[in-house]
């Protein structure tokens, strides 16, 4: 019997990079968790323990910090492109360089005189993500949002679904709809204003969530993705994942009270998970 | 040898309560994680397994949901007071009722027409906490904030500290100061506008953090606590815990680059932890 | 512009199932976290909010509990196969049914008289995973292990790797090797003794980790995968992910002490991540 | 108005220490998460930002690593005593030194030839904890266990509890009892074989959990604590916290099936939380 190495890929994950840019009037801060992964002719290290082709993952980490010193880091997308390019340019036996970044946003603290010049508030679960996967022939850039917590207290129904002997769920015209949106979109291969594109997509998705008369999580997810694609012509596709973070109405009749659709319990598990990918049609 | 039960206390933790209040023009939402704990004459259940005095923790959970249906829940403080009072009033052998609430805040989604009537964004690590500990003679109410993430990129120094043979830390005039504030304050036993008090304390602490020329985490912590007490005469004391969430400068010289106090790594562990309690002096 | 739904998939995640089997002399316990996901003709619910084809995720959850009552659950693999088959058999418009299970193992408590009949100890990070993806034509069964924490204090070197201007890592002949193994293997489509196969694979991987003279994480990963495939002829491929959970030697010279390769710090981030897939060669 | 600093305490938390001891025939490994905190005359740093009395928390971290190089670390208790003593001895203005350690246990991998000399398996949620709080006059040493996951499938009842209008819980003669034990005991101030004491206490608590005919969580908790104190004369008191990690029976009648006390769901929240402190009576 023989065993063959059919895929291999390695790198450094969770490189926490903080960059402060000190402008005259204000400071900017960017905090990214960066993952680097390389593919290529590394099989000797797996099969024989021969490391001469191996870039130490510690070197990948150092590279992130060294290149960050020279890059303006106004957007994460152009920085991960630089990183991936660096590894492909320098190391002939690398065939694929993948770099992802997840940004933890910091907002300026509000003051009477406007946004503070150098003090920030953070702690949101939302991450601004991006990733590149580069070969010498092709570059794919993706943007994304992870962990965006949204909730609406009305305009969400779920009726008319299939029933069988194991169906006990009641139909409802008016439920709480709570989710944590994970979205990832794929850019066309051309110049993009990355931060503008992201803000446009995020704003549209949030606005559609808020105003949509939802007949199902599926329908709202599709409407959000469709609106994002309409608003941002730079993207070719979008993938959405929306868990249904159930708020279940409490049966208060057992306790001698009436529940006027006001009292709910948030459950951790199980949860619905709705996903879809939307693509632009070639008209 | 004999063994004696010297303390006992039991209850239900992490009761996730969601209440939607449906006003004509808008909906309000309140999400609380509530813990109930009782002390009293329950020793028979421990020592002999005799349960006739035991209030099932499941009943505590039901009580939270039942009473929430009737309470306006505009602030968590008055609701936890009602809960603690309920157990003391109904159950003669309960001597202490402790109830805490941790609120996960939801903010209205911004729209062109102003804050949305029924759609919200969440996901912050910040919790608005409160707790009561009630006996038949005495009620202590505390408020708090947990997990408030703050960061400033300048106006933080750390110099002149004690050095010994194990000291390697360099002095610095200009470092990043990042923390997650946990604060708990104790109210005087009189009527308080709970939400106003909390907002006043939080606003002052955030403002002082932003503007303070910090010579140490200790000094900023004290300044924040002092400002909170000055701004809110309803509180008798405040306890603060501020971890120092280090952003360590990267030594780029080893990599042939200069670090102009711009490139840092965020570390998870270890972290400094600075705490203090401030009380109002009887003048 | 038109937008097209190109992929959609939904289901219920984190259905926590506990089954106790009460034998005469002993009880068995199985605790599984189950995820169900369906693909098929559900696009009307996304595009138009028409739910008549939708199986509520709540019904999926009920189905898991109902079928668990009748299934012996001696292994998770045969149960997830039954679940996937149930949805394909009952619902004509389902084209793919995917079900995964992650088992949290409980071990019998040791007593002087041998393993206890009905009391268990748990709490390990290790999960026994399995998944099926079934269409009406094809069934793919995978097994796996997640979160298996292994550490060796010697017989791990890392030398001779590529150096460039950003390389600062020292070569080492003797380092700590700590990891958390995630493995997933694909079974051939034929009858398998699932529990035996899993134990064989796990035992071999653990034994190889322990005894391997490691020249790199890559090499040990390959050796573990190769040994698993040799020991278990039922599997066609295995995918391994092994983070390098670094224990970094402390520079004690700065503190006037010698570090004889004894004192280390465990870091959370960043971490190396080594992955590969091995397949059996068609001889 | 004046504000007074009434308590202050600061230190370094989550110092992850790994020590490998290389014996001729085998290696030992100890992994501790250590927290150091000091109290004393540090008020100038809080009130005025004067740091000359401040021991940098970075120095505390260095001290842990430096002293670990010289300490055998066969038990964590004697090491945290050395650490606390170091700070009290060296720094006149320190009045209280508190040091805690939480050990993540690693078990030797089983081989045909017996336990492996240098390869280990880990990943348990159980932590072996200890703490000291030392002044120049007094030393209090505590030991503990955290996160010990135990479950029994029978011999647990809950009947005869108090009922009121909010009580819906059914009585039961036979339920699953699952918990994660947190225990902390206080040693008498005299010489103790720390590892032996810990093992004795743990073994007795686990054995009592397994064999106890439980009429309530409270009763089992008390029996476990009582057994620990009887088995280990070195301890003066023990505090126990036992969450009731509910496994709720599923109502299968709604699904046309019978539940013969076999099918349950594990819920994350809410959970019961039972606590007590036991002390030895002065006979």
- In a 3-state reduction of DSSP, which class is residue A218? helix
Pairing state of beta strands A177-187 and D94-103? unpaired
| Average pLDDT estimate for A23-27 | 97
d(CA D119, CA C19): 34
The backbone torsions φ and ψ at residue C15, rounded to the nearest 5 degrees and listed phi first, read -85, 110
CB neighbourhood size of B258 (10 A): 11
Task: Give dist(CA C101, CA D94) in Å, integer.
Answer: 54
pLDDT tens-digit readout, A46-63: 999 999 999 999 999 999
Nearest CB among A165, A255, A268 relative to D166 is that of A255
Residue A283 has pLDDT above 80, yes or no: no
pLDDT of amino acid C100: 98
**DSSP conformational letter for B28:** E
Q: Which of A275, A152, A201, A175 is nearest to C46 (CA)?
A: A275
Active-site pick, C19, C27, C57, C200? C57
Q: Does A185 touch chain C (CB under 8 A)?
A: no
What per-residue confidence (pLDDT) applies to B281?
87
Average pLDDT over residues C254-282: 96
Q: Is the pLDDT at D162 greater than 70, yes or no?
A: yes
CB contact under 8 A, B256 and C168: no
Among D128, D243, D117, residue whose Cα is nearest residue D181: D243
Q: Whose CA is closest to C153, among C174, C181, C173, C172?
A: C174
Contacts of A219 in chain C (CB under 8 A): 45-49
| A124 catalytic residue (yes or no) | no
Q: How confident is the model at residue A238 (pLDDT cuts 50, 70, 90)?
A: very high
Residue D283 banded pLDDT, cuts 50, 70, 90 = low
Record: contact B270-D12, CB cut-off 8 A = yes
Q: Tell me which residue in B166, B256, B269 faces C165 most closely, judged by beta carbons.
A: B256
| Contact assignment for B121 to A149 by CB distance below 8 Å | yes
Which tens digit of pLDDT belongs to each residue from A105-133? 999 999 999 999 999 999 999 999 999 99
Q: Tell me the mean pLDDT in the region D127-150.
A: 98
Spans in chain B with pLDDT lower than 50: none
Q: Does A169 touch chain D (CB under 8 A)?
A: no
Checking if the pLDDT of C283 tops 60, the result is: no
- Choose among B214, A218, B215, A274: nearest CA to C12: A274
Q: Which residue has the higher pLDDT, B43 or D281?
A: B43
**What's the pLDDT at D186?**
98
Query: How confident is the model at residue A145, as a pLDDT?
Result: 98
Task: Specify burial of residue B55 (Cβ count, 10 A radius: 0-12, 13-18, 19+).
Answer: buried
The 10s digit of each residue's pLDDT in D164-214 is 999 999 999 999 999 999 999 999 999 999 999 999 999 999 999 999 999
- Average confidence (pLDDT) over C92-115: 97
Residue in A166, A256, A268 nearest the CB of D165: A256
The closest alpha carbon to B18, from A264, D142, A238, A104, belongs to A264
| B 145-164 near D (Cβ less than 8 A) | 158-164
Tell me what the pLDDT averaged over chain D comes to: 97
pTM above 0.90, yes or no: yes
Query: Average per-residue pLDDT in chain A?
Result: 97
Mean pLDDT over A125-143 rounds to 98
Structure confidence by residue, pLDDT tens digits, C36-71? 999 999 999 999 999 999 999 999 999 999 999 999
**Cα nearest neighbour of C9 on chain A:** A275
- Quick: pLDDT tens for C108-152: 999 999 999 999 999 999 999 999 999 999 999 999 999 999 999
Residues in A closer than 8 angstroms to C9, CB to CB, are 275-276
Q: Which residues of B83-104 are buried (b: 16+ CB within 10 A; e: fewer)?
A: bbbbbbeebeebbbbbbbbbbb
Whole-complex ipTM? 0.97
């Amino acid at each position: 019997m023989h065993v063959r190495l059919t895929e291999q890929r390695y790198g450094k994950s969770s490189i926490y990079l903080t960059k402060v840019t000190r402008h005259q009037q204000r400071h900017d801060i960017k905090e990214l968790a960066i993952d680097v992964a390389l593919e290529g002719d590394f099989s000797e290290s797996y099969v024989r323990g021969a490391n001469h082709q191996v870039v130490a993952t510690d070197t990948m980490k150092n590279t992130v910090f060294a290149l960050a010193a020279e890059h303006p880091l106004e957007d994460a997308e152009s920085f991960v492109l630089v990183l991936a390019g660096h590894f492909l340019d320098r190391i002939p036996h690398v065939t694929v360089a993948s770099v992802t970044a997840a940004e933890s946003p910091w907002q300026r603290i509000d003051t009477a005189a406007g946004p503070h010049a150098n003090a920030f508030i953070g702690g949101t679960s939302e991450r601004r993500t991006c990733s590149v996967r580069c070969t010498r022939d092709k570059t794919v850039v993706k943007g994304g949002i992870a962990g965006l917590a949204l909730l609406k207290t009305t305009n969400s129904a779920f009726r008319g679904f299939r029933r069988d002997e194991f169906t006990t769920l009641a139909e409802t015209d008016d439920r709480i709809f709570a989710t944590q949106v994970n979205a990832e979109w794929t850019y066309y291969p051309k110049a993009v204003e990355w931060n503008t594109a992201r803000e446009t997509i995020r704003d549209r998705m949030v606005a559609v969530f808020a105003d949509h008369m939802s007949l199902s999580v599926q329908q709202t997810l599709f409407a959000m993705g469709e609106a994002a694609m309409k608003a941002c012509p730079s993207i070719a596709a979008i993938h959405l994942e929306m868990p249904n973070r159930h708020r279940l109405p409490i049966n208060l009749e057992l306790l001698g009270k009436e529940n006027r659709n006001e009292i709910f319990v948030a459950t951790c598990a199980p949860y619905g998970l709705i996903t879809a990918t939307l693509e632009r049609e070639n008209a």
